Structure 1
């Protein structure tokens, strides 16, 4: 069994937290046959540590957690902070494979969304 954990930065803003939760709900619908969890690196709950523990507790026999960052680019959080936390989780749960995806990046779909926002303003 596999689970997906989407990692956002986290924000103190309640509006930002609600927007992130909306994205996670859409992901749950699109990946209907996979357990999807949203979590935050910092500043808002749930935090990564709590989410990893929840995933393991709720899903006995889990073999892999796929961690995907909800970040645009590969900054320090992607290169250093999150991988360090994932290494801690690998030590805590050595029988579970934890893989780390890449940020959204310069994907043409991102440019499509940005184009739509510009067109709204024109």
Structure 2
């Protein structure tokens, strides 16, 4: 799970995915936008803090 769009997301993860897809022929890995960009995340975090 990824929360924001940092350097690992822009460079490291795509390279790792490419390497894995090369290593495991026929395997396709789908990489979507970071979950932190979903507005519902703020509500979830608030809920978790409120329930500590």
The answer to whether TM tops 0.5 is: yes
2:4 to 73, 87, 96: 73
Q: CA deviation at 1:110?
A: 0.8
The number of residues matched between the two structures is: 49
Gap regions ≥5 residues in structure 1:
1-69
Q: CA deviation at 1:89?
A: 0.9
CA deviations over 1:51-72 (Å, ceiling 9, x no partner): xxxxxxxxxxxxxxxxxxx121
CA distance in 1: counterparts of 2:46 and 2:23, whole angstroms: 43
Gap regions ≥5 residues in structure 2:
none
Q: Of the two structures, which has the highest relative contact order with CA contacts closer than 8 Å and spacing of 6 or more?
A: 2
Aligned alpha-carbon RMSD (Å) = 1.5
Q: What is the TM-score when the length of structure 1 is the normalising length?
A: 0.36
CA distance in 1: counterparts of 2:38 and 2:26, whole angstroms: 33
CA distance in 2: counterparts of 1:97 and 1:71, whole angstroms: 19
